[in-house]
Amino acid sequence: MKPLTQFFLARKKAGQKSFVPYIMAGANGLEQLEAEIQMLTVTGATAIEIGVPFSDPVADGPAIQLAGIAARDHGTTLKKIIQQLQKIDSPVPLILMGYTNSFFHYGIETLVHDLAQTAVEGLIIPDLPYEHRQLILPVIATSNLALISLISLTSPLERIQQLTKDAQGFVYAVTVNGTTGTGQTYRKTLDEHLEKITELSPIPVLAGFGISNATHVQHFLNCCDGVVVGSTIVTSLQKNGIDGTNELVKELTRPLQQFHK
């Protein structure tokens, strides 16, 4: 079992919920990445998702797209991100979120080797279909890297059973049809959908996409094991900096305190 899977399972067994913030590496300069990670950890992050800027980010909404453009304007590349992460002693597990082209251009074997010198324990690759996961799994099999599965709103029961059975780290349950971003409208049957995934999954299920305030966080903690929050944090970091975002993340993580023992 992958270390990241064990980590999230241990939290669930202890009755704790998980909060995973997303940030775009390099959006505010790579030299600020360590300070962003430290702030998120202090304010309650369970793990942190690190975004890799890409020219065609099919899962990303406007806020994260703009952050990706800013990161590329700063000269951010996957190689530079990994070099920076090798210098950072993160108190919590890191998860690298990027697109297939970026990782394959870097070289999967090289990626695994270089990430072994970082706190990265998971990969999220939203444009890698389940049917093509064997392009990645044999290479990361002996590493500490977990390949995290995403489950969409349109996934039928048989597909959900298949995806959860083979899942690593945690199951990423997408809460909307479309891209990330604030101001999303959730469908009426969403809670039932999330509860079904949680019932079927042998590992924790985290909800993500469109979760932008403490009310959202509280709601989704009632039907799954945690949340992933991205766009609202990414936007705040760009507009308000680390100090301004500190208060936002404290507010977002407040609902988790009732589950901490």
Range of the domain at 68: 3-252
Q: To which H or E segment does residue 227 belong?
A: strand 226-229
Judge whether 60 counts as a catalytic residue: yes
Bridge partners (DSSP) of residue 173 are 151, 207
- The pLDDT of residue 184 is 53
Bridge partners (DSSP) of residue 171 are 205
In a domain, 181, yes or no: yes
pLDDT along the chain (261 residues), means of 10: 97 96 96 97 97 83 90 96 97 97 96 98 95 95 96 91 95 75 62 93 94 93 94 95 96 89 54
How many domains would you assign to the chain? Answer: 1
CATH number at residue 175: 3.20.20.70
- The pLDDT of residue 145 is 98
Q: How far is CA 149 from the centre of its chain?
A: 11
Judge whether 31 counts as a catalytic residue: no
In a domain, 258, yes or no: no
- Does residue 205 sit in helix, strand or coil? strand
Sequence-ordered strand ranges (E) for 46-190: 48-51, 94-97, 120-124, 146-147, 150-151, 171-174
Bridge partners (DSSP) of residue 205 are 171
Q: Find all residues with CB under 8 Å of 188, minimum gap 6, and list them.
A: none
Q: Which listed residue (36, 60, 114, 121) is catalytic?
A: 60
- The pLDDT of residue 61 is 76
The single-letter DSSP state of residue 118 is S
Report which residue type is found at 6. Answer: Q
Q: Of 162, 120, 163, nearest to 140 (Cα)?
A: 120
- pTM for the complete prediction? 0.94
- The pLDDT of residue 183 is 47
In a domain, 24, yes or no: yes
In a domain, 156, yes or no: yes
In a domain, 149, yes or no: yes
In a domain, 142, yes or no: yes
Q: Which listed residue (31, 34, 49, 127) is catalytic?
A: 49
- The pLDDT of residue 181 is 46
In a domain, 43, yes or no: yes
Q: Find all residues with CB under 8 Å of 226, minimum gap 6, and list them.
A: 8, 17, 18, 19, 20, 46, 170, 204, 205, 206, 207
- The pLDDT of residue 258 is 84
In a domain, 143, yes or no: yes
